[in-house]
Amino acid sequence: MSAICLLLLLLLLHCIVSFRPIEALFSPKDHILINCGGNETVLSADGRAFLPDTLPDASSPFVLSPTSHDVVRVGSSGVYGSARVFREAAEYRFRIRQKERHFVRLHFYPIRSSLYAMKSAVFSVMANEYTLMRNFSYSKLDLGESFVLKEYIFRLERLSIKVTPSIGSIAFLNAIEIISLPDDLIPPVASTVPSGTSVEIPSLVGFETVFRINVGGPALDSSNDSLWRIWENDHPFLVISASVRNASTDPNLIRYPAEVPYYVAPNSVYATAHEMADASVSNQNFNISWVFLVESGFQYLVRFHFCDFITTTENLLFNVYINNQSVLSPFDISNKVGLFNAYFLDFIADVPMNSDRILVQIGPPRVMVNFPANAILNGLEIMKLSDLNNDFDVHIENASGVQMAKNQKNGTFIVAICSVGMSSLLVIAAIVILFFGYHRYINESDLAGFLSPVAPTTHLGNSETKISTLSDASSGASPGIGQLLAFSEIREATKNFDESLVVGIGGFGKVYKGVFENGLVVAVKRANPRSQQGLTEFRTEIEMLSKLQHHHLVSFIGYCHEANEMVLIYEFMGGGPLRKHLYGSDLPPLSWKQRLQICIGAAKGLHYLHTGASETIIHRDVKTTNILLDDNLIAKVADFGLSKMGPTVDQTHVSTAVKGSFGYLDPEYFRRQQLTEKSDVYSFGVVLLEVLCARPAINPALPRDQVNLVEWAMNWQKQGQLEQIIDPYLAGTVSLYSLAKFGATAEKCLAEYSMDRPSMGDVLWNLEYALQLQETFSSVVGDGGSTNCMLGLPEWISQVENIENEHDMISVSSDVTDVATSRVFSQLMNPKGR
């Protein structure tokens, strides 16, 4: 018995050693914790001691120069109970023992004080040669009473942290952390998005932690992490919360293979996950999506944390996407990782200047063979890489996108100005005025160069176009093409941009109804400075519309570009966008004949763009919000901000970044980045289905199999039962022959490959034929029923939610590979089992 007891005791001791807290295993050589402005050591919530920065002696690991005696202290609030305030530039210099990568964490909290307006302080911070923050201000963050923690990673041999207040302001710091890191925490290489090739990460590149997410689990404070990191919960970033279900296991079951160090993430992160909601339901076809707002123009390291503790007997395969681009397809986590094993993968993603977000998605492969439809994610980290100038914070000079010069020597410039006499100041002021006057002249003349007062020829040969004699291809008069208008005129026409005059909101900005002094009613589109669309789209719109005139294109009247304002002026379309006449408003429903006439008008406008203008023009954003109606329901195509010149005679396509709108994007264009006029044809096919069914292209409120209009409608079309899903208002009024022609036309437009799609001329011919069939039907049976019309429809339609434009727009500016179709865009719509 004694031998058995001894054996049991040894086993118990082994278990105790094996499952000891891993946090205790890490002991950094550099672990400097500073309580700025404090006069005593304070303990943080995780038990670490922050030493005061008052009067450092020879044994202190830092020196502050020049010494600032301005401090603010309150009661016992830990490191946020005190702050050191700086009226001039000051520098902390630290002795570094381990010449490897370090965490540098800066803590900010504006303590209320009668002496210092800390909340409105504006200042910049540098670490060695890295610009961490430029003109930082707590008040701009709208954080309420929350603290700000900035975390960076650098390879250090020395460290100086320089704080510089802006002119007339102060700067402050509450606490500083400098912690040496294991060298393998940051990978030497990572895969790029979307090419998948491995690239080396230079040792001098710095990182800023933007997001660190515990997916499916609670927020974790620094006491739960061996490197004292903070992990957020993922719910604020989920696109649709109903798409996920929490999963968890015992953290003690998590294993770290040899290639995954335990400090890469806590076992409590790997022990929780989000999986697809009701994953046991068959035919699940949606992605779980998270959206993270980031700063444009930088590269980001995206780290995925995986641990499969869910599967039992079957393998778990799923796809992983970053910004709609496949990075793992499919990822066989069961074979790659194994049950309960921690695993992580790193990718480098570019965020272009016209974007401000990273979209992360996971979902089942398109073709599932003997595998359950499910996907999981345990954790996610997003870190910004420093740019070529060692900047983490790029300052933009004005709305025209002119980037300010890097690393300005503000202090030197101020000293130089102060050293000259009053006469020199006057001379400098005169030069500045002349420079900015010239700069403004350049902006306006540059834009004016895009404009052409001569309208292009509008002759259409009819040997190939199949346009009937009813197709009016003549150009309508457009008053004052390309006029440069004063902003004061526009402000007066819109009553200083009165919100009551807003008639629409798009990706570019708000659209106002305006009336000029001469009585001309116009639509005024004013750029939103926070919009993803900017100067490029503004110029494109002017360039395109100044070359075009057609009865079914919205007439362009003029533009304004002054005082950082970008404004476009068009003829006013009293009927508004086509979408409002189909769903989401209380407007009276359109008849089938009216819908056909509107589709024909829009097709004429697109056909003119493709074949009637001096050069082929591809609209690239055809959708029901960009087809406007006048008071007589005449359709006109609008919004040319994303338009592109088509291929020349010796080209088959135009290679360009993918841009368009959710639900309307040509899958072939998305896969290959090869744009042709057939991309417009595909988008127009989606419009045809919207017109027929009176519902959005993507509607998350509907059951899973009805979310994507194209997939759902084409299933019915292939069964020959398209009449089952049309707008119930049309029941009993539509000729089956007209509907059959219309449905066949839409199906051809939506062909997977562009070579199988018709031209817009052929689409136009087929729509006019469908209209003739409907008119013949109406002349015979009137408005009554017939065996050749739909008499009743199933009650499949729930109330359609009004889905606004901000959910439409996407902008992908990188190459795209290995993505099956546009269906990859997280088309989940309440994915709960029925």
pLDDT digits (tens, 9 = 90+) for 353-371: 888 899 999 988 865 555 6
Catalytic residue, chosen from 308, 621, 680, 808, is 621
Beta-carbon contacts of 768 under 8 Å, excluding residues fewer than 6 positions away, are 468, 470, 471, 600
> Residue written as tokens 């359950």?
372
726 inside domain:
yes
Contact 599, 687 (CB under 8 A): yes
Mean pLDDT (the chain) is 77
Contact status, residue 165 vs residue 122, Cβ threshold 8 Å: yes
The larger pLDDT score, comparing residue 759 to residue 472, is at 759
Q: In this structure, is residue 226 part of a structural domain?
A: yes
Higher pLDDT, 819 or 234: 234
Tell whether 173 and 205 lie within a shared domain: no
- Give the per-residue pLDDT at 463: 26
Average pLDDT score over residue span 81-106: 93
On whether both 200 and 157 belong to a single domain, the answer is no
CA–CA gap between residue 730 and residue 719 (Å, rounded)? 20
Q: What is the pLDDT of residue 332?
A: 87
The residue that leads in pLDDT, 580 or 142, is: 580
142, 62: one domain: yes
Please tell me the predicted confidence (pLDDT) of residue 10: 42
Same domain, 636 and 752: yes
Give 430's Cβ-side CA count (13 Å radius). 6
CATH of the domain at 613: 1.10.510.10
Q: What distance separates the 2 farthest-apart alpha carbons in the chain? A: 108
Beta-strand ranges (E) seen in 643-723 are 644-645, 654-655, 658-661, 674-675
Residue 399 has pLDDT above 50, yes or no: no
- The reported pLDDT for the residue numbered 744 is 95
Stretch 597-626: mean pLDDT: 89
pLDDT surpasses 70 at 181:
yes
The total domain count for the chain is 3
- Single residue among 385, 417, 452 that ends a domain in this structure: 385
- Per-residue pLDDT, 673: 78
Is the pLDDT at 521 greater than 50, yes or no? yes
Catalytic residue status for 621: yes
Choose the final residue of a domain: 385, 410, 437: 385
**Residue 803 pLDDT grade (very low, low, confident, very high; cuts 50, 70, 90):** very low
pLDDT for position 249: 94
Domain boundary among 148, 181, 214: 181
| Three-class DSSP category at 557 | strand
**pLDDT of 702:** 84
Q: How many CB atoms lie within 10 A of CB 195?
A: 12
The answer as to whether 132 is a domain residue is yes
779 contact partners, CB below 8 Å, separation of at least 6 = none
525 is an annotated ligand-binding site residue: yes
Q: What is the CATH number of the domain that holds 274?
A: 2.60.120.430
Q: Kindly state whether residue 494 falls inside one of the protein's structural domains.
A: no
Are 275 and 361 within one domain? yes
Give dist(CA 716, CA 793) in Å, integer: 13
Q: Are 608 and 729 members of one domain? A: yes
The answer, yes or no, to whether residue 127 has pLDDT greater than 80, is yes
Q: Please, are residues 632 and 790 in contact by the beta-carbon 8 Å criterion? A: no
Kindly state whether residues 223 and 91 are assigned to the same domain: no
Q: What pLDDT score was predicted for residue 1?
A: 45
81-95, 522-536, 751-765, 811-825: segment of lowest average pLDDT:
811-825
**Gap between the Cα atoms of 222 and 232, Å rounded:** 11
Beta strand 42-43 with 49-52 is antiparallel
pLDDT at 287 over 90: no
* 730 and 598 both lie in a single domain: yes
603 pLDDT above the threshold of 60 = yes
Token pair, residue 286, equals 């949606």
pLDDT tens digits, one per residue of 166-177: 999 999 999 999
> Rounded distance, CA 622 to CA 191, Å?
34
Catalogue the E-assigned strands of 489-535. Answer: 502-505, 509-515, 521-527
Residue 88 has pLDDT above 90, yes or no: yes
Contact assessment for residue 350 and residue 322, using Cβ atoms and an 8 Å cutoff: no
Q: Quick check: is 428 in a domain?
A: no
CA distances from 634 to 71, 355, 478, 628, 762 (A): 69, 35, 16, 8, 21
Question: Residue 333's pLDDT band (boundaries 50, 70, 90)?
Answer: confident
In a domain, 31, yes or no: yes
List, for residues 550-569, the tens digit of each pLDDT value: 889 988 888 888 767 888 88
161 and 262 belong to one structural domain = no
Is residue 633 a part of any domain in this protein?
A: yes
Q: Residue 646: which pLDDT band, with cuts at 50, 70 and 90?
A: low
* Same domain as 316, residue 170: no
Domain that holds residue 137: 25-181
For residue 45, what pLDDT band results from cuts at 50, 70 and 90?
confident
- Amino acid 509: pLDDT: 79
- Tell me: do 126 and 76 sit in the same domain: yes
Same domain? For 177 and 321 the reply is no
Residue 232 lies in a domain: yes
